[in-house]
Chain A
């Protein structure tokens, strides 16, 4: 078993998207999500599809990697598709086997919802994870949320926690792999046996993992204190974020996309039901 973490992975590059201000990318991603949910008919979906292709092209991320990041989604996609095909009722009956009735509308709905989920994922991962380092992302988020400091929310602390958590994901994955290997070398068996046996088989992995996570947390806290970290007050940043022309252009493009979708929705055709 190999742990695969390409879902949510930064992919090095130097495209326009890579160089954008993380704040603009977060805003654009949120608006993009709204736009995706606005789309109701085939025309609107066609536009969405084009926008997703445009995003992938501009980001310069190889299509292979984008597709790979969607692997974990296959089960969800199949599940929602099946539910839609069997449960949705419509006007054009295609198959009728006893209590199973499949309508054309159900199939179209299933396809559109699958497309919607895929585009949602492509849009957000291209804007946020593939082209933005986790550190830049939390930086951007911290600055976007900084007005909330005024009402006493510990925005800096939250974003520091997030940065640290993100920083340690690869470390912990690697560590899990190492511990698993070491236990396998002693004949541990993670893939056979009853559910209870398999759950028990995880103990030899989880215990050392937790022990080392706590040890790392402890060491990190000491290291931060040694460098006089005291929290967000009075702290200046090494990288000050600047919004440039491209950042405005992209945000406007996404707004235009949303408007375009609203217009296209008016042309009717098959309408997505939810």
Chain B
């Protein structure tokens, strides 16, 4: 099982300049195992910075990033291999599209890996299906796609590299609710079927509750909380303190409890709430 470990990692933007910004402050984390890990945190809390440290886009100002126990910066010349193993879909990835056709653009990563033509072709097709893009779009220019389609094409571009660990920075931001569920559902499915570790950044409490096994809350460059959904959402006063929230349905359950209808603790998804309510009123289970 692939493991990423952050050891005393700090990152400072513009170190030594008049306006240096300490984006990450002494982070210690074990990421890995066959789980979906979600990162939450208010704007500017350092999530994107952390994500870019995982595949060596940024180099820690101090501390180490270990992949399977080896410092990824041990041999800076080999950092490209790390990037093939840890696939990162950056925030707003639609701006990275450049090639003449969507097909060529998705093939950019696999081509850089030096794969054979047939292999690349196969991977492009698979990735396109994964991202829920229509195959007919493959020969269009990426600039003719809609915003959501661009997002999917960019996602496919990283999926096509078949990374061992997949990291996604707000993959669903700006998608319609249907597309959002579809993409996140597929990522979750991919995580389960491949048994790898997927790391996802999101601002949506609902998405976090629905898809993640582990939630890490960042605040001002530090890890504020780290645990399962119920462990994190159970501390919701603290969540409010760091500018976050709990899923809406948790408030509903809370209100119900105040009115004497206790449907149990740990209500974070609508689905679970519905089944609890149904069992309470003696209806059929869903």
Q: Which residues of A contact B (CB under 8 A)?
A: 6, 11, 62, 65, 175, 178-179, 181-189, 203-205, 207-208, 211-212
A6-B17, A62-B18, A65-B18 known; A185 and B90 CB under 8 Å?
yes
Chain A contacts for B88, CB-based, 8 A: 185
- Determine whether the beta carbon of B18 is less than 8 Å from that of A208: no
Expressed in whole angstroms, the Cα–Cα distance for A65 and B18 within the complex equals 8
Cβ contacts B69-107/A at 8 Å (1 or 0 each): 000000000001001100111101101111100000000
Q: Nearest B residue to A65 by beta-carbon distance? A: B18
For B, the interface residue count at a CB cutoff of 8 angstroms equals: 27
Residues of B within 8 A of A211 (CB): 143
Give the 10 A-B residue pairs with the shortest CB-CB distance, closest first.
Answer: A187-B112, A182-B96, A186-B109, A207-B98, A185-B88, A204-B98, A181-B57, A182-B90, A208-B98, A186-B108
Chain A hits for B99, CB < 8 A: 204, 207
Known: A62-B18, A188-B112, A204-B108. A183 touches B161 (CB 8 A): no
Report chain A residues within 8 Å CB of B55.
Answer: 185
* B157 and A186 contacting across the interface, CB-CB below 8 Å: yes
Task: Give Cα A181–Cα B55 distance, bound, in whole angstroms.
Answer: 10
Q: Can you name 9 extra interface pairs (CB under 8 A) apart from A62-B18, A187-B161, A204-B98?
A: A11-B18, A175-B95, A182-B90, A183-B108, A185-B55, A185-B88, A185-B89, A187-B112, A189-B112
Which residues of the partner chain B approach A181 to less than 8 Å between Cβ atoms?
52, 57, 90
Please report B residues at the A interface, Cβ cutoff 8 Å.
Answer: 17-18, 52, 55, 57, 80, 83-84, 87-90, 92-93, 95-99, 108-109, 112-113, 143, 157-158, 161
Q: Across the interface, which residues of B come within 8 angstroms of A207, CB to CB?
A: 98-99
Q: Report yes or no: A187 in contact with B113, Cβ–Cβ below 8 A.
A: yes
* Cα–Cα distance between A181 and B169 once the two chains are bound (Å): 13
For the complex formed, measure the closest distance between the CB of A170 and the CB atoms of chain B, giving whole angstroms. Answer: 12
Please, could you name 11 A-B residue pairs with CB atoms under 8 Å apart, sorted by A? Answer: A62-B18, A65-B18, A181-B57, A185-B83, A185-B88, A186-B83, A186-B161, A187-B113, A187-B161, A188-B112, A208-B96
